[in-house]
Amino acid sequence: MLLHSFITMKSLFLSLFIAVIMSSTTSAQNAAPCSSPECAQFDFWVGDWDLIYNDTVHAANSITKEMGGCLIHEHFKDPSHKYTGESWSVYSPAKKLWQQTWVDDQGAYIVLTGNFTDGKMILFTGPALLPDGTRIQNRMTFHNITPDSFDWDWESTTDEGKTWKNNWHIHYQRS
């Protein structure tokens, strides 16, 4: 009888545990984790783009929204320079910022973080040291955003953000 009570009690706890897990899993699935307005701030970038710099189309960029709307995935191709790269961008509600990782076929690995403010998406790299010991920080800025175009700048500073040097300007035009 004692053994039967123990088995019944164990079964009851197991059933209760499974019910709690299933309930929380269902609630989490119904919560739509990437449905906040902040998670849509990079939606302007989604689509296929021609990239123009030096007054010529040099590259193409295809941006997709994946993983239930949580991930912005970039596929960059510049055939004239035989250069390709990809980035993955996600919004972190806990940190209240965008996080992006870039990799390319030249071995680059860049981590950026930032926010959408005043009609611009601005992502920063962490500070780094140049070989001569100078501290440098880079940022990319998406600006002049319209439904069919925007401008993108890669800039750097060596004076802690007092001044920024534009190293690369690209105009995006929808394909």
| pLDDT for res 133 | 95
Outline where the chain has alpha helix (H). 2-30
- Average the pLDDT over 18-35 and give the result: 55
Mean pLDDT of 126-155: 97
**Euclidean distance between the first and final Cα of the chain, in Å?**
75
| Residue in this structure with the two tokens 């690995």, named with its chain if needed | 109
- Write down the pLDDT at residue 122: 98
Q: Is the pLDDT of residue 51 over 80?
A: yes
Average pLDDT of the residues in 118-134: 96
Cβ(133)–Cβ(142) below 8 Å: no
The pLDDT score that the predictor gives to residue 131 is: 95
pLDDT of residue 14: 43
Q: How far apart are CA 80 and CA 65, in angstroms?
A: 27
Classified by CATH at the fold level, domain 37-174 comes out as Lipocalin (2.40.128)
